[in-house]
Structure 1
Amino acid sequence: MTILPLNPAENSSPEALIAFLAQCQLAAKRAGRAQLVSISLEIDALDPLAVLESIFEPGERHFYVERPAEGFAVAGAEAVLSFSASGLERFAECQRFIDETLANTLAVGPQSAAFSGPHFFTAFSFFDVVEAAESFEAASVFVPRWQVALANGKTTAVANLLVEADSPLEALAERVWRARKKFGSFDYSAPDFQEAPPATPTTIREVGGEGAYAESVRRAVERIEAKEFEKIVLARAKDITASQPLHPLRVLNGLRQRFADCYAFSVANGRGQSFIGASPERLLRVSDGQLLTEALAGSIRRGATASEDAALGTALLRSEKDRREHEFVLQSITRRLEPLGVKLDFPSSPALRRLANVQHLHTSVRAALPDGVRLLDALARLHPTPAVGGKPRAAAVPRIRELEAFPRGLYAGALGWVDARGNGEFFVGLRSALIDDATARLYAGAGIVAGSWPEKEFTETELKFRAMQDALLG
């Protein structure tokens, strides 16, 4: 990426913008290919979700995620560039797309600001290959036309343009100028996004039929006892048909308020479907050469009182089955990253991670990223973890589709972004739903190991369903 010594805030006029784009067009002619032009500005404080609500179009891609407890939120809408891939090399193919794009990128504005410059918003499905009727590709990447992010108390807006040798510069400049004026004086008093009464369900249907999940758990335990694998994660799905269309951003408002410690997210495919949720699990973060991941496995409900909550948490910490499940995940992270030369640092015992409706065993894992190893290299080795797949991965994961009654799509997939500096963050697509007009498919899963009881695993998934079902139906 080439960073140009131009301050957009000091060259703030339509004429200056057209002159700048003319320089970019000359660069495109010299290079013989289009240039991605990325303009970053620090602006007055905005709520990225409010901005996305104001420009939301069901026929456009968007990516939204925030984690209120960590004070960040980012929204990207409309695709100026996009790419998709499938198969075992999908991570490497996405990295090549990112590299080729950045080799032909011109950037202006404060590149040291959080979320400045072009970002590549990415969604990897659970499996390397998806089925024909699924809503999302096995791997999809897009660079948004508009991006607004809040981090460390500051707001950064980014406009990304594709400038070709014959692009109409006046039309491009007019589009950017209109957006700049809107973001510079955003009006919350007259939102384009109108509130609506909560939807009510007309039908709620277990995918696969009643009793199918318990039977799947029993079959999985038999295979575990036969030493085919040690652990497998099996999910359920529910299909809800509502009384009116379900707007993904309305649902997101409820999720972010209730689950401040989770990643509240919405990923739209540009064809009318959105995958939304409130995920508790970070898969991977890379920042300035430092890698952060975590083991999150083993769960129990929250208590109605402080005493009951503490008793349940203590029971989880002492649970042999849950400690074993957690250790599977931690061992897998270590084993998967070892070939990259990553030396991990983590505490000897897990702690409790308490969310609004459930508590988990949690271990934070840190490491310095070796030279030459990039975020997607590590992500390709980590995904899927035993927390959403199984152990051994090669034996357990291929059996999931056989035991589940539906394709997973982005459920338990890897969602996140990579920036121009190689930093980025990915989380796991959990506590989630696929929304399509007035229908929604909800997902929830549980880890099955030796000694798992179908009734207990069913109860655990019901607990995990509750957050999304409440958000969907008010």
Structure 2
Amino acid sequence: MTRLTDQCRTCHSERSEKSRAISRMKTPPVNPTGSATPEALGAFFAQCAAEARTAGRPQLVSISVVVDNLDPLAVLESIFEPGEPHFYAERPAQGFGVAGAEVAVEFTAQGARRFADAKAFIAATLANTIAVGPLAEPFAGPHFFFAAGFADEAAPGAAFPSLRLFVPRWQVARMGDSTVAVANVLVAADAPLEMLTARIWRAHAKFGAFDYSRAKQKDRPSAPRMAEEIGGSGSYQRAVAQALTEIARGDYQKVVLARALRYTTTEEFHPMGVLNHLRQRYPDCYSFSIANGKGQSFIGASPERLVRVAGGRMHTAALAGSAPRGQSASEDAAFAQGLLHSEKDLREHRLVLDSIAGRLADLGLQLEHATQPRLLGLANVHHLHTPVSASLPAEAHILDLVARLHPTPAVGGAPQEPALAAMRRLETFPRGLYAGPQGWVDHRGGGEFFVGLRSALIDGRTATAYAGAGIVAGSEPEKEFAETELKFKALLEALTQS
């Protein structure tokens, strides 16, 4: 049964953040689903159409309801359509999952100002948004979901533009013990009110008592019959060797070089089958799927948060330096100890941490972090990991942080410009969404972005998987190749059945 409540369950700082953001939206003191009649909903849409006439432009209408426990991935399985865009992300260890599909409004951008342009679009959209329901609940209200490429410009024929965001027509999210369903619709002055009312009323009934029987279970395909190295055999080792020559002569300190493998199978890949495996296997990671509505999905399990903003604070992390997991407790502990004392990995990690501080310096933030990195142990690899947090000034926006932090030296290099120039020259493929910032911005001015790592672009019977390694003085081509092989092995286990 649907529960409707406006009781705020957030802390004082979150309420302050909410009040600043909601002042940019229209939040009438009505609940069109509260009286549980189509007539009440129709009357509300008539008021929204009148507002659109007054404003001279359509209004984004966002209706949130708190519902009984729903699994966002199970909901997405039930209504998945390959011809519709979707965004899904879940981090079980953090206690959240979110899924949204179909498009209410969307925006694309490219170039060096793509995040600034997205910020302006969000502000303009919120100024013409009417939001109702329990907006203090986690994931309530309109959310803007992002697919952002690594580069400011997308390659010709790319599956995704360099930046695309959309507000979904429907969204289901769970945070802890709270589950919220959101319906978003663009209402123009001459909107077909009866049709809109019927559509939203059906959605309201569906999410109040969701029927999972329509879900079509999808298995992962069998092991691939072919794996093709993009760029050819030996190309990665040659690129690493060239990078080491350039590092030795002082061109830059670090560059992250990636590989791409194209797997071909006899059966089609399906994002739902892969996602069910990913969230069980990697609960500490962001399991994600971003579909372009043309049959292609970018999918993976990323260990790396780029930035999160909530309650007036920002949270990011330095993640660099890695070692394999052992087959026994003793072997695993030895690998972990070696990583914690590896001069090469500690130096690489310090480059990332120093870069975060430098890129955020103009915001005047007082960064808070431990003096020594800690271990982040994933299913197949250890990483050096340093969480970083700070209080944010009221005028700072999460997209300001994204624009400054991306790409971190963990996925690009240092110093940034010469390292990125080397990466473009030495890599044999365009990265697309790989290592780009993926995530969302909410109506409160908060949100969360992760780095699109441990990922693949699936398209029918092919999957192009990506993995990289940081190259610094002391790196060895064969060892860096072996590190990427370890990451590909974990990806292949997720994408296919052995």
Q: 1:469 maps to what in 2?
A: 492
Q: 1:52 maps to what in 2?
A: 76
Q: Tell whether 2:188 aligns with 1:175.
A: no
Within 5 Å, give how 1:121-270 maps onto structure 2: 121-188=145-212, 190-196=213-219, 198-270=221-293
In structure 2, C-alpha distance between the alignment counterparts of 1:56 and 1:352, rounded to whole Å: 37
In structure 2, C-alpha distance between the alignment counterparts of 1:427 and 1:335, rounded to whole Å: 20
Candidates 410, 433, 450, aligned match of 1:427: 450
Candidates 354, 362, 372, aligned match of 2:377: 354
Contact residue 130 and residue 138 of structure 1 kept, 8 A: yes
Uncovered stretches (5+) of structure 2, i.e. residues with no partner: 1-24
Counterpart residue identity of residue 331, structure 1: D
Q: 2:122 maps to what in 1?
A: 98
Tell me by how many angstroms 1:374 deviates: 0.8
User: What TM-score do you get using the length of structure 2 for normalisation?
Assistant: 0.94
In structure 2, C-alpha distance between the alignment counterparts of 1:433 and 1:64, rounded to whole Å: 15
Change over 3 Å in CA distance of 1:174–1:211 after alignment to 2: same
Tell me by how many angstroms 1:9 deviates: 4.3
In structure 2, C-alpha distance between the alignment counterparts of 1:35 and 1:410, rounded to whole Å: 31
Within 5 Å, give how 1:331-410 maps onto structure 2: 331-410=354-433
Query: 173-182 or 222-231, which moves further after superposition?
Result: 173-182
Q: 2:43 maps to what in 1?
A: 19
In structure 2, C-alpha distance between the alignment counterparts of 1:331 and 1:197, rounded to whole Å: 41
SS in 1 for 2:360: helix
Q: Tell whether 2:479 aligns with 1:456.
A: yes
Q: 1:306 maps to what in 2?
A: 329
Describe the superposition over 1:162-202 as per-residue Cα deviations: whole angstroms up to 9, x where unpaired. Answer: 000111011111111111221111123x2332334633312
In structure 1, C-alpha distance between the alignment counterparts of 2:220 and 2:244, rounded to whole Å: 44
Counterpart residue identity of residue 136, structure 1: F
Change over 3 Å in CA distance of 1:471–1:105 after alignment to 2: same
In structure 2, C-alpha distance between the alignment counterparts of 1:192 and 1:322, rounded to whole Å: 45
Contact residue 279 and residue 427 of structure 1 kept, 8 A: yes
Q: Tell whether 2:369 aligns with 1:327.
A: no
Tell me by how many angstroms 1:149 deviates: 0.1
Change over 3 Å in CA distance of 1:374–1:185 after alignment to 2: same
Q: 2:54 maps to what in 1?
A: 30
Aligned residues: 473
Describe the superposition over 1:407-437 as per-residue Cα deviations: whole angstroms up to 9, x where unpaired. Answer: 0000000000000010100000000000111
Tell me by how many angstroms 1:391 deviates: 0.2
In structure 2, C-alpha distance between the alignment counterparts of 1:201 and 1:274, rounded to whole Å: 18
Quick check: which one's strand share is greater? 1
Contact residue 58 and residue 186 of structure 2 kept, 8 A: yes
Q: 1:416 maps to what in 2?
A: 439
SS in 2 for 1:323: helix
Query: 340-349 or 7-16, which moves further after superposition?
Result: 7-16
In structure 1, C-alpha distance between the alignment counterparts of 2:99 and 2:162, rounded to whole Å: 22
Contact residue 221 and residue 266 of structure 2 kept, 8 A: no
Counterpart residue identity of residue 69, structure 1: A
Q: 1:110 maps to what in 2?
A: 134
Query: 367-376 or 141-150, which moves further after superposition?
Result: 367-376
Counterpart residue identity of residue 115, structure 1: F
Query: 53-62 or 95-104, which moves further after superposition?
Result: 53-62
Describe the superposition over 1:325-369 as per-residue Cα deviations: whole angstroms up to 9, x where unpaired. Answer: 000000000000011111101100000000000010000001001
Describe the superposition over 1:365-404 as per-residue Cα deviations: whole angstroms up to 9, x where unpaired. Answer: 0100123111000110000000000000011012212101
Contact residue 368 and residue 388 of structure 2 kept, 8 A: yes
Tell me by how many angstroms 1:405 deviates: 0.9
Contact residue 151 and residue 432 of structure 2 kept, 8 A: yes
In structure 2, C-alpha distance between the alignment counterparts of 1:200 and 1:264, rounded to whole Å: 21
SS in 2 for 1:388: coil
SS in 2 for 1:457: helix
Change over 3 Å in CA distance of 1:11–1:398 after alignment to 2: farther
Q: 1:316 maps to what in 2?
A: 339
Describe the superposition over 1:228-258 as per-residue Cα deviations: whole angstroms up to 9, x where unpaired. Answer: 1000000001001111110012111100000
Counterpart residue identity of residue 296, structure 1: L
Tell me by how many angstroms 1:138 deviates: 0.7
Q: 1:444 maps to what in 2?
A: 467
In structure 1, C-alpha distance between the alignment counterparts of 2:105 and 2:275, rounded to whole Å: 25
In structure 2, C-alpha distance between the alignment counterparts of 1:445 and 1:233, rounded to whole Å: 6
Describe the superposition over 1:127-154 as per-residue Cα deviations: whole angstroms up to 9, x where unpaired. Answer: 1111111111111110000000000211
Contact residue 199 and residue 246 of structure 1 kept, 8 A: no
Tell me by how many angstroms 1:269 deviates: 1.0
In structure 1, C-alpha distance between the alignment counterparts of 2:374 and 2:122, rounded to whole Å: 37
Contact residue 81 and residue 142 of structure 1 kept, 8 A: yes
Contact residue 220 and residue 496 of structure 2 kept, 8 A: no
Candidates 259, 284, 288, aligned match of 2:307: 284
Uncovered stretches (5+) of structure 1, i.e. residues with no partner: none
Q: 1:39 maps to what in 2?
A: 63
Tell me by how many angstroms 1:261 deviates: 0.2
Change over 3 Å in CA distance of 1:96–1:103 after alignment to 2: same
In structure 2, C-alpha distance between the alignment counterparts of 1:58 and 1:197, rounded to whole Å: 16
